[in-house]
Structure 1
Amino acid sequence: MRFLPTRMHGVIDYVWGLALLASPWLFGFADVPAATWMAIVFGVGAILYSAFTAYELGILKILPMPMHLILDGLGGVVLATSPFLFGFADRVLWPHVLFGLFSVVACFVTHLEPMLTTGHREPA
């Protein structure tokens, strides 16, 4: 069931990306290089592809919303499994798992098309 408007998803995208970027210092794992780099790469990546997404908060509006949601889902799976894939699960686990799962859930609950200025969805 898709209930999250793309405008709200856009706000979440930028906040999520910034929070992920800050997470190594907020949660005290900046001394774990692999965990830190995963947070930085995924945080910057999310902000960048959000800026290129064709939704209300996109800047260049090139990337279709369904592709954005696929990136959210796939990226979330990689981020959630990264502690195990890159061997830092014994030192840092929950920030990556929770940020990743949040991204996966967001991809399934967000509308596929942005609202037009009239308040109606664009036809598919």
Structure 2
Amino acid sequence: MQNFLDMRTIIFVSGITSLILFACMLYIRRKQRTYEGFIYWIFAALVNSTGLFLLSLRDILPDFLTIIAGNTFIIFSVVLISAGLSRFAGVRPYSKFYSLLMLLFVALYSYFTYFHPVFIYRSFVFYSFQALLCIVT
């Protein structure tokens, strides 16, 4: 009973949930008028589901796709949510800041995956970037 649910299964189901959210939000966007920034949130759900699907395929696909690309997609979905919130508030998104942040994330995450592979450091980078994006928003 220790391994009741495999972590890959949970991540895969989370990806399906994000994909369903994407489909529902896209349907709402087509059927009724939405507000500024909603399209960013729609694509955030799609990008998040892509990242989660890649994470769930760890040890099946190459590490670059499952570790680097998967987590980058998830961080990028947070960027899209932040940009959507900025648009909703009537403020221009910090595009240059987001681009720099994404490049820095990929560089640090790649470093702690290939050159100094320590999971705790990768986790710290991932959660620090998520926290920074939430603070900036």
TM superposition score category, shorter chain reference? 0.3 to 0.5
Q: Which of these two proteins has the greater Rg computed from alpha carbons?
A: 2
Task: Determine which structure has greater relative contact order: mean sequence separation of CA pairs < 8 Å that are 6+ residues apart, divided by chain length.
Answer: 1
TM-score between both structures, scaled by the size of structure 2: 0.41
TM-score between both structures, scaled by the size of structure 1: 0.44
More helix by share: 2
